[in-house]
Amino acid sequence: MQNMRILQLHCDYIEFTPVKKEIKSAEEIDPQSKHFDEIVVAFVAVEEGDNSEVAKKAMNEISESMKKVGCNKLLLYPYAHLSSKLASPNTALSILKEMQSNVDGLDIHSAPFGWTKSYKLQVKGHPLAENSKSISAGEEKESTSEALKAESKIQSFWHIMTPDGKMHDINKFNFVKYQNLEVLAKYEAAKKRSVDEPPPHVKLMKKLAIADYEAASDAGNMRFFPNGRLIKSLIERYVTEQVVEYGGFEVETPIMYDSHHPSMESYFNRFPARQYNVQSEGKQLFLRFAACFGQFLMAKDFQMSYKNLPLRLYELTRYSFRREQSGELVGLRRLRAFTMPDCHAMCKDMEQSKEEFRKRFDLSRHVIKGIGLDESDFEMAIRFTEEFYNENKSFIEEIVSKIGKPVLVEMWKERFFYFVLKWEFNYVDSLGKASALSTDQIDIENGKRYNIEYIDENNKPQNPIILHNSPSGAVERVIYVLLEKAAKDQKEGRKPTLPLWLAPTQVRIIPIKPEFLEYCEKLAEKISQNNIRVDLDDRNESVGKSIRDAETDWIRYIIVIGEKEVNASKLSIRDRKTSSVKEMSVDEMIKEIREETKDMPFLKMNMSRYVSKRPQIMV
RNA sequence: GCCUCGAUAGCUCAGCCUGGUAGAGCGAACGCCUCGUAAGCGUUAGGCCGUGGGAUCGAAUCCCACUCGAGGCUCCA
């Protein structure tokens, strides 16, 4: 596309002298020096294809920005060096003349066209003094992938499927018992939203010193404090352990790729993502928005037999990047940099894919449950092409029946995406926002696109069907869900908590007086040796204050140590879950905690055991 | 990206409409208190009122732009 190039400078003064004619068609003028004070100088290069419309538009933009700097004197200065695709001199001259005559209210001068000029100018120091533009004839459009453009053309039909496999008209379905599903359905199908407050997890993520915005980065790139890092690590570890148990092979692939690599170019147009671009040594790179291509490119280099299938590759991407629209980013719900567990399974045919799909469906349900959500916390949506539905009705019905409640159905008349079937679990928050967590897809396209092959029973090369699963969804989003769920508890009068296995501090010990500190240290050591995160409030504060601080940090077990405990075997332990003080021995408490966190990963405390040694994180 | 709103001490916020010396609580430092299950007491330090411009004798306060955040639109494979 051709663009007129303009470099605009707000100057204290400019002085120029025409030296000699550069081209035949140069303007006939008297080569005298000229001097202007307090003036905006616009260096202009007219490119091939520029026309009157461009001239008009350019003048509008120039005069608009001149208003902002409070100046109405303009010098149009022909300046060929701004472009390598210059218009012919005659066209350029006529467009420049047109620009000069185009605007009311401005005092417009021009420097002679086609002359070599010597000049001297002084540019003002304010931020708006320098400014460059390129003006084109049509609407300016950001380059978007074909997929993004085409997506809006998809024709969808919405239904509700009940566990018995029956499809219901979405407008006639009785949602009385399924309010969250109704919200999801409206959210997805009717695109209805109505919220006038920020989501509660934003306050909580700061209050609990989990995560915060980092203004020095790009929007949607969060920073995680020790508590947040610990929680993330635990979730990451848990999901990874579960995927490995299911049979995933953990791999690691690069976070950036060459946009012009042949495998990338065609994939781009099938994956509607806005990506971050990076220029490096003449290469145009982009930051990955999923682990798909890394794993596909890897699988392509494997020599595979049908006997190896299904082959499950897994990567936990820290990070995946999607340059979402800035207005779309909120707290931990939707980010531009996020941690995504991504597991692909290469399957030999549709039968095997369906079998594998069932396993991964169960895996995802298990993972979500382990994280601390139950089935009433999310609503399922399942999406497929009409053709796939007609050929696989009983398979779809089987999947839906496992959930045991109605699910949202989106059916596409034609296949538009690379997959024929996809489901996801959506968390519906208290403000009625729906966000996808776990998801799986059956991809019938990318095996071929990436030239991934296996050798079948007849010694023939075949492209596998590929399943794309994230058993938990983005880790940051999981934290968002846990915090939103806690906020909901709080709103409804219950005490907000994190699942015990994720609590940064599981037990806090508070000595009544400093003289009991030594006893507390020994106690803490014993508890810690049992893989429990315990800390010690060694600040010289009142007991009431220390307990309050522990409560506002959502700490589950609080042990107060005084004269009585030092001399007895039982401790008084405050349990946040029951809001009561219980008499119990350390061993009983340890047993209780081990029982509640069994099968879940453990990591040591990520900060000093001593509360007095920690900085206050107030954000 | 577009529209609307917001930004004042480390945090939460008042002051802004109607321009004239910058306020509170929490937190921090120091000291006192030595405490039994959700805030013990006192003193002190801490501010380019987000950044840059404009109008004004004078701006946290009025105007403009930018940055960051929030809500809506759009988007969400």
For chain A, what are the domain ranges? 4-135, 156-165+182-195+251-474, 500-613
Look up the protein residue whose alpha carbon has the minimum distance to the C1' of B68.
A215
Distance CA A474, CA A299 (A): 23
Closest nucleotide (C1' vs CA) to A151 is: B77
Query: How many CA atoms does the CB half-sphere of A605 hold within 13 Å?
Result: 21
How distant is C1' of B23 from CA of A386, in Å? 66
pLDDT of residue A140: 34
With 50 as the cut, is the pLDDT of residue A372 above it? yes
Average of pLDDT values for A352-361? 97
CATH 3.40.50.800 fits A500-613, yes or no: yes
* Highest mean pLDDT out of A202-216, A344-358, A425-439: A344-358
Q: Domain A156-165+182-195+251-474: which topology?
A: BirA Bifunctional Protein; domain 2 (3.30.930)
Tokens for A263?
């495998």
pLDDT of residue A586: 95
Tokens for A138?
């049509």
Q: Which amino acid, A326?
A: S
CATH topology identical between A156-165+182-195+251-474 and A500-613: no
In tens, the pLDDT along A173-182 reads: 999 999 899 8
Tokens for A479?
């934290």
Query: How many CA atoms does the CB half-sphere of A106 hold within 13 Å?
Result: 26
How distant is C1' of B70 from CA of A196, in Å? 9
How distant is C1' of B44 from CA of A182, in Å? 58
For the ranges A116-125, A292-301, A509-518, A535-544, the lowest mean pLDDT is seen at A116-125
pLDDT of residue A1: 42
Nucleotides in chain B near protein beta carbons (<7 Å): 1-3, 10-12, 27-28, 32-40, 52-54, 64-65, 67-77
Look up the protein residue whose alpha carbon has the minimum distance to the C1' of B41.
A542
In tens, the pLDDT along A134-171 reads: 666 543 333 445 555 555 556 788 999 999 999 999 88
Residue with tokens 């298990």: A366
In tens, the pLDDT along A35-92 reads: 887 788 888 877 766 777 677 777 777 776 676 666 778 888 888 776 666 777 777 7
Q: Which amino acid, A31?
A: P
pLDDT of residue A21: 73
Tokens for A239?
């999901």
Closest nucleotide (C1' vs CA) to A512 is: B35
How distant is C1' of B29 from CA of A614, in Å? 15
Closest nucleotide (C1' vs CA) to A272 is: B77
pLDDT of residue A317: 95
DSSP letters, A286-315, are: EE-SSSHHHHHHHHHTS-EEGGG-SEEEEE
The residue among A480 and A72 whose pLDDT is bigger is A480
Distance CA A7, CA A82 (A): 8
pLDDT of residue A101: 73
Element (H, E) at A100: helix A89-100
In tens, the pLDDT along A300-345 reads: 999 999 999 999 999 999 999 998 888 888 889 999 999 999 999 9
For the ranges A8-22, A44-58, A177-191, the lowest mean pLDDT is seen at A44-58
For the ranges A2-11, A103-112, A554-563, the lowest mean pLDDT is seen at A2-11
How distant is C1' of B17 from CA of A202, in Å? 31
Tell me which residue of A414, A403, A359, A356 sits closest to A380, measured CA to CA.
Answer: A403
Q: How many CB atoms within 10 Å of residue A49? A: 15
A571-585 burial, b if ≥16 CB within 10 A, otherwise e? bbbbebeeeeeeebe
In tens, the pLDDT along A446-458 reads: 999 899 999 999 9
Tokens for A540?
């010289």
Cβ–Cβ < 8 Å for A465, A286: no
Average of pLDDT values for A267-277? 70
User: Helix (H, G, I), strand (E, B), or coil: what is residue A128?
Assistant: coil
For the ranges A113-117, A121-125, A193-197, A516-520, the lowest mean pLDDT is seen at A193-197
Count of all residues that appear for chain A in the document = 619
How distant is C1' of B38 from CA of A552, in Å? 8
Cβ–Cβ < 8 Å for A185, A158: yes
Tell me which residue of A576, A602, A601, A599 sits closest to A589, measured CA to CA.
Answer: A576
For the ranges A99-103, A109-113, A261-265, A594-598, the lowest mean pLDDT is seen at A99-103
Residue A587 phi, psi (nearest 5): -60, -40
How distant is C1' of B45 from CA of A615, in Å? 18
Closest nucleotide (C1' vs CA) to A439 is: B77
Distance CA A383, CA A387 (A): 12
Q: Which amino acid, A511?
A: P
DSSP H helices, A499-601, are: 517-528, 543-552, 563-566, 586-596
Instruction: Report the CATH architecture of A4-135.
Output: 3-Layer(bba) Sandwich (3.50)
Cβ–Cβ < 8 Å for A550, A520: no
Distance CA A211, CA A477 (A): 12
Look up the protein residue whose alpha carbon has the minimum distance to the C1' of B55.
A70
Query: How many CA atoms does the CB half-sphere of A434 hold within 13 Å?
Result: 25
Q: What is the mean pLDDT of chain A?
A: 86
CA distances from A617 to A47, A145, A223, A252 (A): 55, 42, 13, 33
pLDDT of residue A49: 66
